[in-house]
Amino acid sequence: MNRNNVPTRFASPATENARPESHQLVDHFFRSEYARLVATLTRRFGASHWERVEDVVQSALERALIAWPRRGIPANPSAWLYRVASNLAIDSLRRDARKKSLDDSTGPSTAETASPAGSGAALELEPDDSQVHDDLLRMIFVCCHPQVPPESQIALALKTLCGFGNLEIARALLTTGASVAKRITRAKQRLRELKIEPSALTQETFRERLPDVQAVIYSLFNEGYSSSLADKLIREELCEEAVRMALVLAEHPSTAGAESSALLSLLLFHAARLDARIAPDGAMLVLKEQDRSRWDQRLMSAAFDWFRRAANTDRLTRYHAEAWIASEHCRAASLETTDWDRIVTGYDLLCRLSPSPVHELNRAIAIGRRDGAAAGLAAFETLDAESLPDNYYLWHATRGELARQTGDLVIARTSLQQAWKLAPTNSEKELICRKLDAMDRSEDA
């Protein structure tokens, strides 16, 4: 993977000239290495040994946490991990008397694994970057097999490609660890029944599953950007993993193109504003309250670069429209100088490409910014509220805010109070309380 196309925040510390100190190998580096190792070793040993590969990769990472603080970080940490995990896999296969001989178990990789652990040249090196890149891509598409339910696709991707534990996945998907374990087990069992091998995927498979893969990555980022956890508005680790997987799609020849570039640019535009969404005291900050000097200029620059690449197409997608809207926010020096006419046009396009009451809701907000609160409220009133989930608090929050701006404080207060009851996180509840308190103070004045 060409990590030069992603700013430092989303790259592995080992690729950014980190000093040889163990504490600098932060969590997302190990997650990245977990994905690389699982993908590469699954290709090498076969999908039938998927669980075995995950076990030896976990063991290799645990050994690194013990060995590196004592002996120092190796010159090539990735190669060290690959060598240790490979040796552990070979040893495990040799000890397993219930399995066939090692030559039969490893199939086409027999020559590679028949030599004693650590003695063959193949074990002294890690696969080259292009090979790892291809392995990662193939594993993403394996996880998104159409016969695996969408909720299991996400769980499997988080486990296999992000190195998340079952409890972490459960928190992200608002379920239990036991449920996640069942989803993953059933998904792997189904893939075994179908005898899916990553190396057997075709270009046609990539084309057919690309929209599903993009949807998984998009959903993963959204959960990180606006978490469903009550005590945490943003889960940056989910955003980072989504960006990493989107980068794989955008850079690989089999999936590169305008749509993948548009998705990556969209995620980077939003990622650039993550830090500014939270105040030092943990309060949620809306767009007009954010300190734009805290927006990550490196990420925005990368986002604009990928957005320009995405424009080279005759086929626009929802990701193009959303990236266009996000780019307009990032171009503006302030809320007042934002080109709301272009943003409304972007929402017009988005609503045509991907009809959704949520998109219509955001369009009404943009119209309110462009033409005034009364116009925004008029656009809002045309929405079909019944098509939204019963607990979609932003419908009530939007109605309350637009009503407040038009001076209808009765509807504003009722709507905001309902939004407060439904808001999923403490930060969002606190933001609504601030608005209610401001209304009370304005009435008392």
Give the model's pLDDT for residue 349. 96
Question: Over the chain, what HEC string results?
Answer: CCHHHCCHHHCCHHHCCCCCCHHHCCHHHHHHHHHHHHHHHHHHHCHHHHHHHHHHHHHHHHHHHHHHHHHCCCCCHHHHHHHHHHHHHHHHHHHCCCCCCHHHHCHHHHHHHCCCCCCCHHHCCCCCHHHHHHHHHHHHHHHCCCCCCHHHHHHHHHHHHHCCCHHHHHHHHCCCHHHHHHHHHHHHHHHHHCCCCHHHCCHHHHHHHHHHHHHHHHHHHHHHHCCCCCCCCCCHHHHHHHHHHHHHHHHCCCCCCHHHHHHHHHHHHHHCCCHHHECCCCCECCHHHCCHHHCCHHHHHHHHHHHHHHCCCCCCCHHHHHHHHHHHHHHCCCCCCCCHHHHHHHHHHHHHHCCCHHHHHHHHHHHHHHHCHHHHHHHHHCCCHHHCCCCCHHHHHHHHHHHHHHCCHHHHHHHHHHHHHHCCCHHHHHHHHHHHHHHHHHHHC
77 close to 25: Cβ distance less than 8 angstroms? yes
pLDDT at 15: 34
pLDDT at 324: 96
Q: Can you give the pLDDT at residue 5? A: 53
Rounded Cα gap, residues 136 and 194, in angstroms: 20
Q: What pLDDT, on the 0 to 100 scale, is given for residue 27? A: 58
- pTM, whole model, 2 decimals? 0.75
For the chain, 445 residues long, give each residue's pLDDT as a single digit of tens. 444 455 445 543 333 333 334 444 445 577 778 888 888 898 888 888 888 998 999 899 889 888 888 888 888 888 899 999 999 999 888 887 455 554 454 554 433 333 333 333 344 456 666 666 678 778 888 888 989 888 888 888 888 877 777 877 776 676 788 999 999 999 988 888 888 888 888 888 888 889 988 988 888 888 788 766 666 667 787 788 889 889 989 998 889 999 999 999 999 999 999 999 988 887 888 898 999 999 999 999 999 999 999 998 989 999 999 999 999 999 999 999 999 999 999 999 999 999 988 899 999 999 999 999 999 999 999 988 777 766 788 999 999 999 999 999 999 999 999 999 988 888 889 999 999 988 887 766 5
Q: How much is the pLDDT for 262?
A: 97
158 backbone dihedrals φ, ψ, rounded to 5°: -65, -35
